[in-house]
Chain A
């Protein structure tokens, strides 16, 4: 996936000494303005700007004052400023630090909320990213999360075990559930060549209706209740709070850090990960090199499903412990695709992207409550960030930044050459 957009971090090459050799500061300046970090920051700024325009345009006061713009333009500008700054400060205070609270312990609560929302996004994002690296597009996050929640949730409310062991058992059951649902896709692809985009989408629906049935009339049904909702997770299986009962942040976040380290090690340092990446770069070359491509597809989907399953079980044991319905995935399976793309399918990139999206999610609720700005604005901003980051030349053109390397050079995808060689 990321092959087409390899970061061009090569600094201005040591040019042969000449009369017009640029100064050292010039080189440093160049490196900053052509680096990846600046593009990412500017992409976020651009996306927030577009969001600001949308907030301003749909604000009632702004529309009123625009009617008499030419007689009193200051009113309009004030209204725009109020609408936009109000919305964004609510977003910030809902996701990072609330200045209206007296003590630091209360003020920092939004940040812990951000991390809580980020937890499942990172886990599922890692799963999708792993798939991308092997050349698989896993849109089946929803189904994998649902099956993970079903198996893990069942262990969590129906089995009697001592505290701690119970939690581990439920966790393992959930991850296995997700891995099986994902591995099924890998197996179908390896054995029959069925396209994973079709099978993952179809299995999403199958899982949804299966869980709906189980909740209505199966082993997930709460006895004596007509609500399609499972019984509550037993206390012995619930993830413990990391910062005490005042905060929602739970053990799942530690698990997700561990999962990120694991994925980083797997992809970057292990034998299996090397094979994964080889298959992702060029399955034909990998096959010639003696790698069993179909087996890699199965392993990759098992692991991908397992990571997404971690997100599913995290919901049941950490976030919604009072029993779950068929909407327990709450769209995380699809958000994870954007998270993985923003993180460029790199484990720590996904981690950072997950926290950013977690912050948007946490902040969007306070933005809606305080300023009446619909949550959907966050979707717009998120998708624009990914779009802009994926197209550095566009961001450079907007901000008139110099392109990396003196003669303007476009990243050359090697795929076209492969086509040509056929």
Chain B
């Protein structure tokens, strides 16, 4: 973010009395980005403000505890939000001037305010179902999160995983066939993991044994899996759709008590099994990478393979098995397409989700939790467009569809900046 090693910036002002470890250079990036968004927000919400009343529906009809609808006067909400955003920008400028970093929570509050203002503006004289909006966002984010977790594991161990798209697609394809034939969605899930692992095997074999550039293998594997599944779909699946391409979908499971919490319950605890597995996977990958011996070894191989080798860790073995694990995790995400949402395999049905997951990995700076949040952001932005197109937004739908990608560019350029992956990621290890 804005902490750069002092070596690169010899002219930076160092505060007297501060140790070199805590020096923060004056970076105006955050205030500038916040300022730009404040001006844009002001233009949209106040200058081009709309009058009317926005209704936020907080409860679904099946909830035990019914929350009343929140009524927001559209124009006044816009004014209040703009003033608050201006205040946060001011605080950020003040913090930079006193050599402090703008805390992440303040930026998050800013984003939340902007979002509330925008939702109110877009839904003047209309109703926005908040639980539905969030529920859909989570659903769209599930494959992205699995893919991003696969990417994090693989890159942390030192193998660049561009093949997430291929792993997702292979998982979707295999799970559709296996679940259709056996009528067991659980078996489909296992098959998806195996398929993702197989794609990973190829990636690992070429990258680790034959020292082929990892990006090349990744890109080519995506093309290979697209071609294979497309070919088999037209030749085998499409003519025998009833037998091979009608997988049973997972049923939704309501978790007792938890699913009755207002807003949170319907969003998080009335999901299918795959989503619950995802919660566990995120927690497990986070805990595993940062708090277990396995994770320490994995990270050391990704950061400094020679040092890891010196202390007796089998570098290439560690890489091989963890890349395979990454494939299994990503494969689970593929199963969500066929067993969770769509219900049948279609040609190229992942439609670039693997690349979005890759972006989430880098956006989340190779951290499982952050990558998950980035994936959720993509899911939210895509679903926002769906919801707004139903209630009839004044913005052309293409611009709404563009929004998540624009926000990502702004966020990556303005807030994340130079993202540095694991040091040895992408480099083959040769024992010398």
- Which residues of chain A have a CB within 8 Å of any CB of chain B? 1, 4-5, 54, 58, 137, 139, 188, 191-195, 197-199, 201-203, 205-206, 209-210, 212-213, 216-217, 334, 337-338, 341, 374, 376-384, 386-387, 390-391, 393-394, 410-413, 415-417, 419-420
Contacts and interface: CB of A to CB of B under 8 A. Distances in A.
A390 B212 contact: yes
Interface in B384-432: 396, 398-399, 401-402, 405-406, 408-409, 412-414, 416-419, 423-424, 427-430, 432
Given A193-B419, A202-B359, 10 more contacts: A1-B213, A188-B413, A191-B413, A192-B412, A202-B406, A203-B405, A206-B409, A341-B216, A376-B227, A419-B305
Interface stretch (B90-98, B131-139, B229-237): B229-237
A411 B211 contact: yes
B26 interface: no
B363 A198 contact: yes
Interface residues of B, number: 57
Contact of B402 (A188, A209, A413): A209
A216 B206 contact: no
A139 B418 CA distance: 19
A386 B220 contact: yes
A142 to B, nearest CB: 10
A376 B409 contact: no
A201 B230 contact: no
Given A194-B412, A376-B230, A387-B217, A419 B427 contact: yes
A150 to B, nearest CB: 13
B334 to A, nearest CB: 18
Contacts of B356: 201
Interface string B302-341: 0011100000000000000000000000000000000000
Contact of B220 (A192, A202, A383): A383
A205 B315 CA distance: 38
A376 B169 CA distance: 14
A411 B212 CA distance: 10
Given A205-B402, A205-B405, A386-B220, A4 B227 contact: no
19 contacts: A4-B211, A192-B417, A193-B418, A194-B413, A206-B402, A206-B406, A212-B398, A216-B396, A338-B223, A341-B216, A379-B223, A379-B226, A386-B220, A387-B224, A390-B212, A391-B206, A391-B210, A415-B427, A416-B429
B116 to A, nearest CB: 24
Nearest to A380: B227
Contact of A139 (B355, B408, B412): B355
A207 to B, nearest CB: 9
Contact of B216 (A188, A197, A378, A390): A390
Contacts of B417: 192-194
* Interface of A (DSSP majority class): helix
A106 to B, nearest CB: 30
B215 interface: yes
A213 B211 contact: no
A392 to B, nearest CB: 8
A409 to B, nearest CB: 12
Contact of B234 (A191, A374, A391): A374
A197 B359 contact: yes
Given A380-B227, A416-B427, A195 B235 contact: no
B231 A338 contact: no
Contacts of A383: 220-221, 223-224, 227
Interface string B355-388: 1101100110000000000000000000000000
A201 B355 contact: yes
B190 interface: no
